[in-house]
C-alpha cells in the first residue's frame, strides 16, 4: 500500500523479470526444479527485497510524513446519555439510601395524580434457567413441565390473567408431548395476548461473551417476538439491542445494571430511554428500553423501594419466609384497607422514578414461579382482592390490572411521545449488585468452555453454509431431495445445542459442575453433527456428477455407513483442548487426499495442520527392508498438483503424553483458497535409500531439558541456553524474546524498520486472603503476584519453512510465541501474468501478503487442575503506546468497538471488561490490537501502553450468588491470540472541534480476526478421489465486497403461512445474513493487494452474479431472524443493499420468470 508511482512499477517489472527468468531456466534445461532450492532462493529474494525497502534512501522520512489513504469514517451521533459521560459523573460512593439501601429516599404528594390516574400493570413471570443448578432436562422434569401445564390451565380459565415467558428451549420440549387440544389452547392464549413470549430466543443468552453470529442463530431457533424481557443476564451489551431491533423488536426490559448507574438514572427519571447505536442518525436502530430500578427481579424488589414491605405481597412466602422479619398474610375484608395502603405507597414511590405519563410496571414473579395451580390461585386471588379495593377507591387515583409487557408499552406510548425520552448509547458493564462485588469473574470462569463454544460456532457455521449451498445447487437440482434432506435433523441438533450454550449461565461458566458437564456433552454432540453435515455436503458438491458417489452418499445418510468424506478438523471429545486430526500412514504406497473449504467470502491462505502417525509404517520398514530408507512427506495442491511446502516436526514430548514415538505434527501450505472454494490437497510418502533409517523433519531445539530417550532424541536438537539466539523471524516480522522467560520483548517491522516494545508476561494472581468474596461470578481481592516458575525454564524452539516459534513450559502454563513465515507480496499481484502450471508452482512459493502474516500469534494452554489455592492467570502485554488518559477499546460481541476508560474511583476488578474478539490501545500514531480466538476478560488504561488479559481462574470460595459451590472443577484451557501493530492516522475531521467517530478495527485487523475466528475446514476422503473433482468454486471468485462479511447462510423448512411465495425451493427456505463493516484508518505496511478495500458509498450485490449456480436468484429483505415481517413489502429484488455498519437478513427466492 505504501509503494507508489515509479518505484512501484519498478518493483512489478523486477517481479515479472524474476518469474520470466525462472520459466526460461525451466524450459531451457528441460529438467526438474529442486523445490527446496527454489524455496530458499525465493526466501532470500524476499529478505533482500525487504532490506532494500527498509534502507532505501529517504524511506524513514517519507514514512513519517506519509498520509494514509483512508475511507470516510462514520461520525458518532451524540446521545443525551452516553456510557462514558455517565460513568464520569457517577461518584461510586455506595452511600446508604435508607430502606432502598442502594438508592435514596423517595417522596411524593397524593395530589400528584389528581389530573391523571396512575395506571399499574402487574405482570406475572417465571424465570427459568435452561441449565444452572440443574440441567435442562432435570429442570424440565422437576419444575418446568408442571409449571407450563398449570399456566395454560389457569390462563384459559381466567381471561384477565397474564403471563410472560422467555425460554423457548423449554417450550419446545413441552410442545412435543402436548395433545392437539392443549396445543390449540396454547396458541389461542398467545394470539389473544394473555401469554406473551418475550425475546423469542432459544435461551436468554449472555450478552458479554457471545459472538453476534451465535446470538442471532439462537434467536432464529426461537419464535417471532414482540418485546424483549432480559432480567437475569449479568450486564447488557451495546450490540444486543441492535440485534433485537434487527429481529423486529422495538421494546425491551433489562435489569442487571450497576446499582450506582441505576441510582443516577432514577434520580433524573431516566430509567426509560431510547437505546440507539452511535452511528444511527435516523433512529432506525432505536429500542425503547425499561430498566428495573431496584436490586433484583423478585417480588421483594419490584413493587417499590422497600423490600421489607414488598416481600409481604409475595403470597407464596406465606409457607416460606421473608428475610426482613415481617411475613405475608392472606388478604381478608378486615385487613384489605391496611394492606392496600402499604401497596399503594410503594407503587407511588416507584412511579416517581419514571416520567412516562403515569404508567407503572410491576413484575410479579421470581425463579421457577407459578409451577402449580395452587400457586396461581394464591397469588392472583389475593392480588385481585387488593386490585378491586384500590380500583374502587377514588381517593387513590390508581387503576391496577394484570397486563403484558406489550400492553404496558402500548399505554405508555399513548400517553408520552417517544421524543420526550432521552436517547442513550453505549453498554452497561461491568455489573455490580452490591458493594464492590463486580461481576467480572465470569468473563473468564470455565475458560475451556468459552474456547469450546467459539470452536463449535465455526463448525456450525460451516455446516449451515455447506448445507445451504448443496441443497440449492442448481446443477444437481434433481438429486438434492433424495440425498441431503436427511441431514437436517443433525443440523438442527448442532444449531440448538450451540444455541443452548449461549444461555447466560452456560457460556458464562456459572453453573454447577454436573451442569457444565452436560453442556460439554451437548457441545461435543454439536461438533460431531456439524462436522458430519459439512463433510457429507462437501462430498455431494464434489461428486454429484458421479453415480458411485451419489450411491455411497445415499447409503451413508440412510444407514450411517463409512462416509465419503470425514472431517479432518480438530476435535474435542472428552478433552477440553482441541486435538488435531490424526492421519495414519501404514505403507509407503499410502496416499491421503484431503479437501479444504474456505467459508469466507474473500480469498485466504491456509496452512493445513494434522497429526501424522507413522509408528506402524516405520516398524514395518525396519522389520522388512534390509536397506535403510529416509522417509519424507510431500504435498500437492489442486488439479495441477502444485507442490506446496511441508513442515513436519515431532509432536511435543515435553508436556503432551503420547503412546507413539512416531507421532508428528504436519503443517503444509500456504494454500491459496478463493472465496467459498473447496480444493484438493494430496499427501504422499517419499522414500530414498540411505545409510540409516530416518524421517525428514524440522528438528526443534530443546533447552534446559533432561536428555531424551534415543528413540525420541533423534528428532530433536538439544543445546545449552547460552547458544540460543532469542528471536523469531519471518519475511515481514522479527520478534525478540527473553531467553530466560521465553516471553516477547520487542517486535520489528522488517519492511518499515520500525520497532515496538511488545513485552508479554504471565502473572499468577493470588487472593489476598481465603475465603474471599470471589466465586464463579465475582473476581475480588486478587492482588498478590507470584512468578510462574521458580526453577530454570524448559524451552522448545522451532525454526521451520512455514513458522518460527518458541514454547516455554511453566508448571501451569504452556506459552507459545509464533510468527508465520509465508507471504505473497508478488505472487498474487494483479499485474503479474500466469504462465501455466509452472507459474502456479512458483506462485505457491513466492511470499504472500495475506492477513495471516501480519500478526504475532500467542498460544496458551493453562492447566490449574493441581492448584490448591484461588488463583487467576493473567497475560500482561506492555507496549510503548502512550494512551496516558486511560482510554482503551474493547469489542461488543465481535460486532463493534466500544471506548473504555480506566477509573481509579472503581476497584481494579471493576475496570475489567468482556472481550469477545478484540481490544486495542492507541496514541496519535500507532495502535496495538489484540485479537482473540475466544471470549476473555480484559483491562487496560491502568498503566499507559498496557493490556491485561485474564486467561483462566480457579476459586475455592463461593460468592453466594446462587450456584452454591466454588469454582474448582476446572479443565485445562486453550487460548489463541494474534497481535497486530499498526500505524494509524485519524481522519481530518477529528481535528475539528467536537468531531468524534465510531471506533473500529482497521481492514487488516478485521481480516486477521476473521481468519482466526473462522478457519478453513479440512476433510479427508474415504473414497476413490478420482470420482471427486479437484476443486469446486461455490461462488464467483470475486467474492463479496471487501467490507461485507457473510454472517451465515441458513436453510430451514417452515410450513408457516409467512413464507407463502417465499420458498427457495418447494417446501424449503434459504436465508442469508450480511454484515457491512467500517474500517479505521491504519496499516501494518505488510499487506498490499490482499488487504486493500476500495471504499463504496453504496453497497449493491447482485445475488445471481455472486452465486450463479444457486437456484435462488433474487432476495427479499427480512429481519435477521429470516422470518418475514408481514407488515412490510415482500417483493423480491435482484440486488442486495446493506448500509455501512449495518447487518441485514434476506430470504433468497427463484427469479420471477
pLDDT of residue 430: 98
For the chain, the helix, strand and coil percentages under 3-state DSSP, each to the nearest 5 = 30, 25, 40
Count CA atoms closer than 13 A to 726's CA, side-chain side. Answer: 17
Distance CA 893, CA 208 (A): 7
pLDDT of residue 572: 83
Has 314 been annotated as catalytic? no
Identify the weakest region by mean pLDDT among 330-339, 463-472, 695-704: 695-704
Mean pLDDT confidence for 182-189: 97
Distance CA 126, CA 122 (A): 13
Mean pLDDT confidence for 433-449: 97
Distance CA 505, CA 203 (A): 10
Distance CA 34, CA 320 (A): 83
Contacts of 984 (CB under 8 A, 6+ apart): 68, 922, 925, 926, 927, 1002, 1080, 1081, 1082
Q: Which of 292, 259, 287, 258 is nearest to 123 (CA)?
A: 292
Domain-wise residue ranges, the chain: 5-65, 115-434
Distance CA 19, CA 23 (A): 6
Paired strand residues for 737: 744
Q: Which of the four pLDDT bands, split at 50, 70 and 90, describes residue 617?
A: confident
Asked if residue 851 has pLDDT above 90, the reply is no
Return the SS3 of 265. helix
Distance CA 80, CA 898 (A): 17
Q: Which of the four pLDDT bands, split at 50, 70 and 90, describes residue 615?
A: confident
The percentage of the chain sitting over the pLDDT mark of 90, rounded to a whole number, equals 76
pLDDT of residue 560: 75
Question: Which one of the listed residues 206, 232, 464, 1045 is annotated catalytic?
Answer: 232
Contact (Cβ atoms closer than 8 angstroms) between residue 383 and residue 339 = no
Give the model confidence (pLDDT) of 926-941 as tens digits.
Answer: 999 999 999 999 999 9
Distance CA 754, CA 962 (A): 52
Distance CA 234, CA 442 (A): 9
Q: Which of 816, 757, 825, 776 is nearest to 962 (CA)?
A: 776
Give the model confidence (pLDDT) of 731-749 as tens digits.
Answer: 899 999 999 999 999 999 9
Give the model confidence (pLDDT) of 877-928 as tens digits.
Answer: 999 999 989 999 999 999 999 999 999 999 999 999 999 999 999 999 999 9
For 105-149, give the DSSP string. Answer: -----GGGGSSSPEEEEEEEEEE--SSSSS-HHHHIIIIIHHHHH
Mean pLDDT confidence for 1009-1031: 96
Distance CA 954, CA 863 (A): 10
Contact (Cβ atoms closer than 8 angstroms) between residue 1081 and residue 73 = yes
Give the model confidence (pLDDT) of 533-586 as tens digits.
Answer: 999 999 999 999 999 999 999 999 888 778 999 999 998 877 788 899 999 998
DSSP state of 911: G
Distance CA 524, CA 518 (A): 10
The percentage of the chain sitting over the pLDDT mark of 70, rounded to a whole number, equals 89
CATH, domain range 115-434 = 3.20.110.10
Contacts of 26 (CB under 8 A, 6+ apart): 33, 838
Paired strand residues for 610: 666
Asked if residue 448 has pLDDT above 70, the reply is yes
Amino acid at each position: 500500500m505504501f509503494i507508489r508511482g515509479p518505484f512501484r512499477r519498478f518493483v512489478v517489472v523486477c517481479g515479472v523479470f524474476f518469474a520470466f527468468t525462472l520459466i526460461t531456466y525451466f524450459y531451457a534445461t528441460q529438467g526438474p526444479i529442486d523445490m527446496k532450492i527454489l524455496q530458499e532462493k525465493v526466501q532470500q529474494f524476499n529478505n533482500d527485497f525487504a532490506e532494500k525497502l527498509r534502507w532505501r534512501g529517504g524511506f524513514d522520512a517519507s514514512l513519517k510524513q506519509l498520509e494514509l489513504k483512508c475511507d470516510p469514517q462514520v461520525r458518532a451521533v451524540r446521545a443525551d446519555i452516553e456510557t462514558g459521560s455517565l460513568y464520569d459523573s457517577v461518584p461510586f460512593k455506595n452511600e446508604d439510601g435508607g430502606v432502598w439501601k442502594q438508592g435514596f429516599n423517595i417522596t411524593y404528594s397524593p395530589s400528584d395524580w389528581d389530573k391523571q390516574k396512575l395506571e399499574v400493570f402487574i405482570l406475572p413471570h417465571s424465570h427459568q434457567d435452561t441449565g444452572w443448578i440443574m440441567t435442562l432436562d432435570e429442570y424440565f422434569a422437576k419444575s418446568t413441565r408442571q409449571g407450563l401445564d398449570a399456566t395454560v390451565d389457569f390462563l384459559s380459565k381466567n381471561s384477565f390473567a397474564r403471563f410472560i415467558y422467555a425460554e423457548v428451549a423449554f417450550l419446545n420440549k413441552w410442545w412435543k408431548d402436548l395433545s392437539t387440544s392443549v396445543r390449540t389452547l396454547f396458541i389461542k392464549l398467545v394470539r389473544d395476548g394473555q401469554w406473551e413470549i418475550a425475546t423469542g430466543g432459544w435461551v436468554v443468552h449472555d450478552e458479554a461473551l457471545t459472538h453476534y453470529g451465535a446470538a442471532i442463530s439462537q434467536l432464529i431457533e426461537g419464535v417471532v417476538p414482540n418485546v424483549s424481557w432480559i432480567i437475569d443476564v449479568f450486564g447488557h451489551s451495546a450490540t444486543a439491542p441492535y440485534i433485537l431491533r434487527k429481529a423486529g423488536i422495538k421494546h425491551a426490559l433489562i435489569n442487571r445494571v450497576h446499582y450506582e448507574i441505576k441510582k443516577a438514572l432514577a434520580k433524573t427519571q431516566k430509567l426509560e430511554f431510547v437505546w440507539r447505536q452511535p452511528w444511527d442518525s435516523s433512529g432506525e436502530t432505536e429500542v425503547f428500553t425499561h430498566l428495573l430500578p431496584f436490586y433484583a427481579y423478585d417480588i421483594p424488589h419490584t413493587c417499590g423501594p422497600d423490600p421489607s414491605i414488598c416481600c409481604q405481597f409475595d403470597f407464596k412466602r406465606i409457607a416460606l419466609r421473608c428475610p426482613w422479619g415481617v411475613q405475608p398474610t392472606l388478604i381478608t375484608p378486615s385487613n384489605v384497607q391496611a394492606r392496600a395502603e402499604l401497596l399503594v405507597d410503594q407503587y407511588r414511590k416507584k412511579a416517581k422514578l419514571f416520567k412516562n405519563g403515569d404508567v407503572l410496571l410491576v413484575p410479579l414473579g421470581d425463579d421457577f414461579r407459578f409451577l402449580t395451580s395452587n400457586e396461581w390461585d394464591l397469588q392472583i386471588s389475593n392480588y385481585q382482592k387488593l386490585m378491586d379495593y384500590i380500583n374502587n377507591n377514588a381517593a387513590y387515583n390508581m387503576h391496577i390490572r394484570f397486563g403484558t409487557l406489550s400492553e404496558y408499552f402500548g399505554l405508555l406510548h399513548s400517553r408520552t411521545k417517544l421524543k420526550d425520552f432521552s436517547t442513550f448509547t453505549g453498554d452497561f458493564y461491568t455489573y455490580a449488585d452490591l458493594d464492590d462485588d463486580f461481576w467480572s469473574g465470569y468473563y473468564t470462569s470455565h475458560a475451556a468452555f468459552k474456547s469450546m463454544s467459539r470452536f463449535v460456532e465455526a463448525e456450525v457455521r460451516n455446516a449451515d453454509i455447506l448445507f445451504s449451498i448443496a441443497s440449492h445447487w442448481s446443477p444437481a437440482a434433481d438429486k438434492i431431495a433424495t440425498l441431503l434432506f436427511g441431514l437436517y435433523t443433525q443440523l438442527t441438533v448442532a444449531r440448538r445445542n450451540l444455541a443452548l450454550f449461549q444461555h447466560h449461565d452456560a457460556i458464562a461458566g456459572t453453573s454447577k459442575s454436573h451442569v457444565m458437564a452436560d453442556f460439554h456433552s451437548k457441545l461435543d454432540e454439536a461438533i460431531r453433527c456439524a462436522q458430519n453435515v459439512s463433510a457429507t455436503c462437501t462430498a455431494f458438491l464434489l461428486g454429484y456428477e458421479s453415480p458411485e458417489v451419489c450411491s455411497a452418499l445415499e447409503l451413508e445418510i440412510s444407514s450411517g455407513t463409512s462416509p465419503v468424506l470425514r472431517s479432518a478438523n480438530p476435535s474435542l471429545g472428552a478433552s477440553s483442548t482441541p486435538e488435531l486430526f490424526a492421519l495414519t500412514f501404514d505403507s509407503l504406497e499410502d496416499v491421503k487426499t484431503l479437501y479444504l473449504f474456505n467459508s469466507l467470502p474473500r480469498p485466504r491462505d491456509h496452512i493445513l495442520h494434522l497429526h501424522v502417525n507413522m509408528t506402524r509404517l516405520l516398524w514395518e520398514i525396519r522389520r522388512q527392508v534390509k536397506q535403510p530408507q529416509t522417509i519424507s512427506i510431500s504435498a500437492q495442491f489442486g488439479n495441477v498438483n502444485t507442490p506446496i511446502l511441508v513442515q513436519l516436526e515431532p509432536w511435543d514430548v515435553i508436556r503432551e503424553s503420547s503412546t507413539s514415538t512416531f507421532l508428528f505434527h504436519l503443517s503444509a501450505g500456504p494454500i491459496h483458497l478463493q472465496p467459498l472454494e473447496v480444493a484438493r490437497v494430496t499427501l504422499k510418502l517419499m522414500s530414498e535409500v540411505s545409510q540409516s533409517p530416518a524421517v525428514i523433519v524440522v528438528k526443534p531445539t530443546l533447552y534446559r531439558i533432561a536428555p531424551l530417550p534415543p528413540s525420541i532424541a533423534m528428532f530433536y536438537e538439544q543445546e545449552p541456553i547460552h547458544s540460543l539466539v532469542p528471536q523469531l523471524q519471518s519475511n515481514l516480522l522479527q520478534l525478540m524474546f527473553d531467553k530466560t522467560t521465553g516471553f516477547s520483548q520487542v517486535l520489528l517491522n522488517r519492511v518499515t524498520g520500525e520497532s515496538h516494545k511488545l513485552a508479554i508476561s504471565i502473572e499468577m494472581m493470588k487472593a489476598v486472603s481465603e475465603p474471599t468474596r470471589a466465586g464463579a461470578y465475582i473476581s475480588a481481592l486478587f492482588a498478590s503476584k507470584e512468578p510462574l516458575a521458580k526453577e530454570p525454564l524448559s524451552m522448545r524452539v522451532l525454526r521451520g519453512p512455514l513458522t518460527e516459534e518458541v514454547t516455554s513450559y511453566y508448571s501451569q502454563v504452556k506459552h507459545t510465541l509464533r510468527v508465520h513465515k509465508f507471504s505473497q507480496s508478488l505472487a498474487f499481484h494483479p499485474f503479474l501474468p500466469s504462465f501455466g502450471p509452472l507459474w502456479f508452482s512458483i506462485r505457491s512459493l513466492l511470499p504472500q501478503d495475506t492477513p495471516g502474516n501480519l500478526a504475532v500469534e500467542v498460544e496458551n494452554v493453562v492447566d490449574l487442575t493441581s492448584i490448591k489455592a484461588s488463583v487467576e492467570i493473567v497475560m500482561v502485554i506492555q507496549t510503548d503506546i502512550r494512551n496516558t488518559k486511560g482510554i482503551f477499546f474493547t469489542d461488543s460481541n465481535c460486532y463493534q468497538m466500544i471506548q473504555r476508560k480506566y477509573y481509579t474511583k472503581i476497584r481494579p476488578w471493576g475496570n475489567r471488561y468482556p472481550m469477545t474478539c478484540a481490544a486495542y490501545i492507541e496514541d496519535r500514531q500507532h495502535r496495538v490490537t489484540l485479537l482473540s480466538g475466544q471470549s476473555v476478560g480484559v483491562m487496560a488504561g491502568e498503566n499507559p501502553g498496557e493490556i491485561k488479559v485474564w486467561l483462566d481462574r480457579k476459586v475455592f470460595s463461593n460468592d453466594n450468588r446462587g450456584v452454591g459451590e466454588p469454582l474448582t472443577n476446572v479443565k485445562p484451557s486453550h487460548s489463541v491470540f494474534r497481535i497486530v501493530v499498526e500505524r494509524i492516522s485519524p481522519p481530518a475531521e477529528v481535528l475539528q472541534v467536537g468531531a468524534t467517530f465510531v471506533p473500529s478495527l482497521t481492514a487488516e485487523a478485521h481480516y486477521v480476526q476473521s481468519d482466526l475466528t473462522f478457519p478453513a475446514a479440512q476433510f479427508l476422503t474415504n473414497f476413490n478421489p478420482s470420482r471427486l473433482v479437484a476443486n469446486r468454486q461455490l461462488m464467483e471468485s470475486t467474492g463479496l465486497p471487501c467490507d461485507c462479511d457473510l454472517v451465515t447462510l441458513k436453510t430451514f423448512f417452515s410450513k408457516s403461512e409467512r413464507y407463502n411465495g417465499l420458498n427457495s425451493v418447494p417446501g424449503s427456505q434459504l436465508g442469508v445474513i450480511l454484515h457491512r463493516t467500517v474500517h479505521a484508518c491504519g496499516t501494518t505496511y505488510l499487506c498490499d493487494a490482499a488487504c486493500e478495500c476500495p471504499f463504496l458509498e453504496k453497497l449493491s450485490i447482485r445475488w445471481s452474479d455472486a452465486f450463479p449456480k444457486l437456484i435462488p436468484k433474487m432476495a427479499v429483505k427480512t429481519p435477521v431472524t429470516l422470518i418475514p415481517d408481514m407488515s412490510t413489502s415482500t417483493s423480491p429484488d435482484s440486488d442486495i443493499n446493506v448500509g455501512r455498519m449495518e447487518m441485514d437478513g434476506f430470504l433468497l427466492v427463484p427469479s420471477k420468470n
